[in-house]
A and B are shown apart, each in its own frame.
Chain A
Amino acid sequence: MRIVVDLNRCQGYAQCVYLAHEVFKLNGTESLTYDPNPDDARRLQVERAAAACPVRAIMIDRLDGAERGAAS
């Protein structure tokens, strides 16, 4: 799956880290780092993390691979 975090908006509250720590990590005290294309098996975790983000900074792909249309 594909995600992107708007790190301008992100406030480093780390809710996402608690809910999906293989995907979101804190570097130091407030610098968020993450895996932009995590394994599909983590979808539920990541969706929970996105829903829990207080500033809605996490965007999840709304399409599955077939619909994307671009040659990859």
Chain B
Amino acid sequence: MTLAATLAELVRDFKANGRIVIVGASLAGLRGAEALREEGFTGSLTIIGDEPYEPYDRPPLSKQVLKGWVPADHTLLPRARELDAEWRLGVAATGLDRAARQVRLADGEQVPYHRLLIATGTRARQWPNPAEAALDGVISLRTRDDAARLQQALAARPSRVLVIGGGFIGSEVASVCRDLDIPVTLTERGPAPLVGALGGVIGEIAAQMQRDHGVDLRCGVSVSALEGDAAGHVRRARLSDGTTVEADVVLAALGSIRNVEWLQGSGLAAGPWGVGCDAGGRAFDINGVVTDSVYVAGDVARMPHVLYEYQFLAMEHWDNAVFGAEVAAHNMVNLEPHYRPHLLLPGFWSGQFGVNIKSVGVPPFGDEIVFTQGSVKDRSFAAAYGRRGRIVAAVTFDHGKWLEYYAHLIEQSAPFPPPPPGWDRPDVMRPVPAEFPAPGVPTAIPDVVLTGHDPNERRAEFRPRGH
């Protein structure tokens, strides 16, 4: 047999008889499983998830669900095809033994694999003081159980809701509170809401929008303590500026933590920024060497991106989970030269205060911003982000139809400021600083994080020469 024929036979055999395990039964896990079958993989497929539910969609949880329109258990994801998989739901993976190629489960079982897809996503960062976090009415929002609790709390018409953190989720929840005519205070440590994701110029517009809708917005302050009543229900928050806020529901919207603890000791490049992998989804080990049997997709992955100086990017976005899982699945059942890259231009949407906010690219990579279309006053506009003379991202408020125009420019590394689309031009088109907080300045954590060039932010051990 020629080498090519041998390799083709290898791929064929793996597709028929291989054993694939997916850890994480949410968006990336489900779409990865479906893509594997779509690729012709007919071997054994096991999906392990610690939540007791079949895969559901999270974006509606901070929107339709909180409004009370859609019940929290009604966001189950549609299926693209039949899976014929073994589902292990309600049990967490607690360890990975790469030498033995086994995933250890919380119930003690060892699940063997030939190839593994890590799709364990992120969880909500909890309020840091455990006693205060345990007060009734203190809630974070990541799962459908969280959403059910928060929705019930809102339906009980609290006297005031306090939202801690002005990122997308915090801002969306504040928006729902106003829709429901519930008084809401939002505190943000940075100078404006959304500042980590979209910078201070856009943050200022978001701040004005919140105030116009009656949000009691407090920027540049943090919450120093939460206080409860005798029954253990939260009643009050003390802020760093010495003021207090009376509230009986508190949402801690403090960003997310990547679910990597179960990978401790596995020798993978897993850390606080996620699991490092190449642009094909293949995980790096702690030495920065790419593995052949472990893949990563979704919120927990961080991978280098050609458009952003090959810096590693962690993208906590819906489309990244879908597309990343499809790419990883393809590469799991193919060999070089048939690998596919995950060359996604990150995209995001958020519905708040009746406005459709969308972005493409990586806004925090830019240092300048220019308004290119529409009107800020009407909150209907497009703006582009630039860095060193090229366009790197764009954001729209109720101008979503134009996003593709900017996406194309970003993909072409077009000059910044970009050529205006020749329609709907604002009076002033002058780039100004985009005002992203300096790294290390406390603020809501952005959903897309540039994490440098090191696939492994943990230290590898170096051996002296000659050993």
Q: Which residues of A contact B (CB under 8 A)?
A: 1-4, 6-8, 10-12, 27-37, 59-63, 67-72
Asked if A31 meets B355 with Cβ closer than 8 Å, knowing A36-B57, A37-B76, A70-B54, the reply is yes
Q: How far is the CB of A23 from chain B (nearest CB, A)?
A: 10
| Structural contact, B349 and A3, CB atoms closer than 8 A | no
Q: How far is the CA of A31 from the CA of B349 in the complex (A)?
A: 9
Asked if B64 and A63 make an inter-chain contact with CB atoms under 8 angstroms apart, the answer reads no
Asked if residues A12 and B400 are in contact (CB atoms below 8 Å), the reply is yes
Contact, CB under 8 Å: A35 / B64:
yes
A72 surroundings in chain B (CB, below 8 A): 53-54, 76
Q: Which residue of A lies closest to B63 (CB)?
A: A33
Check: B70 CB closer than 8 A to any chain A CB: yes
Residues of chain B touching chain A, judged by Cβ–Cβ distance below 8 Å, are 25, 47, 52-55, 57, 59-60, 63-64, 69-70, 74-85, 87, 89, 318-319, 322, 347-349, 351, 353-356, 358, 380, 398, 400-401
Q: How far is the CB of B285 from chain A (nearest CB, A)?
A: 32
A31 engages B354 (CB within 8 Å): yes
A63 to chain B, nearest CB (A): 5
A1 contacts across to B, CB distance below 8 A: 78
The closest CB in chain B to the CB of A58 belongs to B78
Question: Which of A7, A59, A72 has the most C-beta atoms of chain B within 10 angstroms of its own C-beta?
Answer: A7
Cβ contact within 8 Å between A37 and B80:
no
11 A-B pairs whose Cβ atoms sit less than 8 Å apart in the complex: A2-B79, A3-B78, A31-B351, A31-B398, A36-B60, A62-B78, A62-B80, A63-B79, A68-B54, A70-B55, A70-B89
Q: Are A28 and B356 touching (Cβ within 8 A)?
A: yes
Chain A, interface SS category:
loop
B78 near A33: Cβ-Cβ < 8 Å: no
* Residues B69 and A2 in contact, CB atoms below 8 Å apart: no
Q: How many A-B residue pairs have C-beta atoms within 8 angstroms? Tell me.
A: 105
What is the CB-to-nearest-CB distance from A54 to chain B, in angstroms, rounded to a whole number? 11
Given contacts A12-B400, A30-B400, A70-B54, contact A35 B78 (CB under 8 A): no
Contact A8 B318 (CB under 8 A): yes
Q: A8-B358, A30-B401, A36-B70 are in contact. List 11 more A-B contacts (CB 8 A).
A: A4-B77, A11-B400, A12-B356, A28-B355, A29-B380, A31-B356, A36-B60, A60-B78, A61-B78, A71-B52, A71-B54
How many Å lie between the Cα of A68 and that of B84 in the bound state?
9
Kindly provide the distance from the CB of B48 to the nearest chain A CB, expressed in whole angstroms: 12
Closest to A38 in B: B74
A21 to B55: give the CA distance in the assembly, Å.
26
Task: Report the separation of the CA atoms of residues A63 and B80 in the bound assembly, to the nearest whole angstrom.
Answer: 8
- Among candidates B60, B89, B347, B355, residue contacting A8 with C-beta atoms closer than 8 Å: B347
Closest Cβ–Cβ distance, residue A11 to chain B (whole Å): 5
Q: Check if A37 sits within 8 Å of B356, measured CB to CB.
A: no
With A35-B64, A63-B82 as contacts: A7 and B76 at CB distance below 8 Å: no
Q: Are A28 and B77 in contact (CB under 8 A)?
A: no
Contact check, B89 vs A7: say whether CB atoms are below 8 A apart. Answer: no
Q: Which 4 A-B pairs have the closest CB atoms?
A: A28-B354, A61-B78, A31-B356, A70-B54
Chain A hits for B80, CB < 8 A: 59, 62
Beta-carbon nearest neighbor of A59 in chain B? B78
A62–B349 CB distance below 8 A? no
Name the distance in Å between B175's Cβ and chain A's nearest Cβ.
9
Cα–Cα, bound, A69→B74 (Å): 18
Taking CB atoms, residues of chain B closer than 8 Å to A28 are 351, 353-356, 398
Which residues in A have their C-beta under 8 angstroms from that of B87?
69-71
Q: A29 and B77 in contact (CB under 8 A), knowing A8-B318, A72-B54? A: no
Question: What's the minimum C-beta distance from B119 to chain A, rounded to whole angstroms?
Answer: 15
Measured between alpha carbons, how far is A31 from B55 in the docked complex, in Å?
24
**Contact for B64 among A12, A30, A34, A62, CB less than 8 A:** A34
